[in-house]
Amino acid sequence: MTVAIEAQGLEKTYRGSLGRGGATALRGVDLRVERGTAFGLIGPNGAGKTTFVKALLGVVRPTSGRVSLLGGDPDDPAVRRRVGYLPERLALPPAWTPVEVLKAVARLKRLGPARAEVARRLEEVGMAEDSGRKVGGFSKGMKQRVGLACALLGSPDLLVLDEPTDGLDPLARVEVRSLLAREIGRGATLFLNSHLLAETERVCGRIGILVEGRVVREGALSDLRAALPRWRLRLAGPEAAIAAAGFSSGGDGSFAFEGEAEAMNAALDRARGAGALVLEVAQDSKDLEAVLAEAVGNEAPGREAGRP
């Protein structure tokens, strides 16, 4: 599998006014994202996520370190032609219609006559009906959809999306998720920076946690969400006997058990012996919020102010 994004020792310090009192946003970030995968970058505010995304695309010049996109230099127009980017706070020419915006992007990406694709992309993001209206009168969510259509133009090999569902209503988020799933399905690499952990969890297979300008944890979502010695069950039968077997009742036939798998099975045997019927057993695992909180907690001492 080839590498879509590779950052080595990436550092960024913003100079303060008159060259004094700079703020360090990235402190030696090393990261690899394989092609065809969906990678989510999460972290607390001020962790350096947006700076990292901007450094990937050459919008911010790294103080030191190296970035490669799709095996090439991010400054190379041939590489950028294969990248679709949605910035965090997208601003579009207010006097233009979505069609004009997308056509301008298509021209700069040298996509040739792109009328059909422009119409298709606007349809995909649910903006076909508003394609003749001026962008200046759009809500944040509508602008975000136009920006997403821009990023998808030309079916790029790498999609870098900074808070893509920000400002979207829940239904639109679902649509965007399925759109992104289709893009991943056709082989595109997705790099997602989002503070919406549930979104990241649903879309991305691998997660990186950035805290204070460093990647403190990185891996497959399933590995990060390590299973906990905690179980949730649905049991039918005499409640007193089930409780006596070691389960704590949550009401409506739901029970919980804290302990390793062997202990839980032994308790289940006791409950079944007393006439209980097992309907459902599920092991608890950490959600991404807990993983992030743990990562931030571990890194918390000595945190310094950094620019996002």
Cβ–Cβ under 8 Å, residues 82 and 76: no
Candidates 9, 64, 71, 75; binder of other proteins (CB under 8 A) is 75
- Residue with structure tokens 């821009």? 150
Q: Which of 58, 65, 237, 308 binds other proteins (CB under 8 A)?
A: 58
Binding mask 15-54 for other proteins (x = CB under 8 A): ---------------------------------------x
Nearest approach, Cβ of 99 to other proteins (angstroms)? 12
Among 33, 47, 70, 83, binds other proteins (CB under 8 A): 83
Q: Name residues whose C-beta falls within 8 Å of residue 185's C-beta, 6 or more positions apart in sequence.
A: none
Q: Provide the minimum distance between the beta carbon of 53 and other proteins in the complex, in angstroms, as a whole number.
A: 9
**CB 230: neighbour CB atoms within 10 A?**
14
Smallest distance, Å, CB 46 to other proteins? 16
Q: How far is the CB of 115 from other proteins (least distance, A)?
A: 16
Q: Is 108 in the site for other proteins (CB under 8 A)?
A: yes
* Residue 73 vs 284, nearer CB to other proteins: 73
Q: Is 88 in the site for other proteins (CB under 8 A)?
A: yes
Tell which one of 87, 167, 237, 253 touches other proteins (CB under 8 A): 87
* 100 is an interface residue for other proteins by CB under 8 A: yes
- The residue (of 118 and 160) whose beta carbon lies closer to other proteins is 160
Which 131-190 residues touch other proteins, going by CB under 8 A? 134, 147, 150, 160
Residue numbers at the binding site for other proteins (CB under 8 A): 14, 54, 57-61, 75, 77-78, 80-81, 83, 85, 87-93, 95-96, 100, 104-105, 107-110, 134, 147, 150, 160
